[in-house]
Structure 1
Amino acid sequence: MSPHLFFILKPIVHYSLHFLAPGLIAFIFFRKEWKRAWLTMIATMIVDADHLLATPIFDPDRCSIGYHPLHSYYAIAVYFVLLFFPKTRIIAVGLLFHMFTDWQDCQWPIWFLH
């Protein structure tokens, strides 16, 4: 993949996975309450507040996973445990999918620039 195309597609895929994919997940797995589930999953983006602790706040070449506190492996383990409780399940799905989205973003240079 050309570097130019890489830098165009990467943010499109990233933000589509953050905003559109949770809607599809909500519709498939939480059909009776899909709108509330989608909004709840979008609300889990608040975990990105931990980026404010970093300098610089935004670094397109930095991998969030394992770097920011709410993107740590310990936090991800807590998000996984939340799956087992019905009252926190939608939040857990949103947080875990957010972590997956950020993880795949870290893989782009490996997958497409080598």
Structure 2
Amino acid sequence: MPELELRAVVHLLLHATVPLAVARLFWPARWKRAALWMLAGWAIDIDHLLADPVYAPGRCSIGFHPLHTWPAILAYGALAIPQRTRWFGTGLLIHIALDAIDCLMM
């Protein structure tokens, strides 16, 4: 498997496993529900459909896609504060952090 493909596979696996691990660690009694809300953070990738091409392996999503910009990231941080939206906001921040790490690895 070429390096770029391996990086993409690892990136996608981390998007699934990190929210699960965070849910198990911080909310062990309700980890399944917390994990589902955090995995819902993947929904922000819908903004990739606005790009041409939709998928570009060497493109950094941070700052490029509308839901991956600093104003959006600040909103995700705000969502992580109230208890009612904490899991979703945390999932969004995890998603952004993983995307930022991927950008650094490019």
Q: Which TM-score applies when normalising by structure 2? A: 0.93
Residues 73 and 23 of structure 1: is their aligned pair in 2 closer, same or farther, counting only changes over 3 Å?
same
Structure 2 partner of 1:30: 27
**1:45-96: per-residue Cα shift (whole Å, max 9, x none)?**
1110000111111111111001111111100001011121000100011000
Opposite residue 103 of structure 2, the aligned amino acid is C
Identity of matched residues, %:
43
Q: 1:39 offset after TM fit, Å?
A: 1.2
2:81 to 81, 84, 99: 84
Stretches (4+) displaced over 6 A: none
Q: Which TM-score applies when normalising by structure 1? A: 0.87
Contact 2:51 2:65 in 1 (8 A): yes
- Count of paired positions: 106
Query: Are 2:94 and 1:97 aligned?
Result: yes
Unaligned runs of 5+ in 2: none
The alignment's C-alpha RMSD in Å is: 1.4
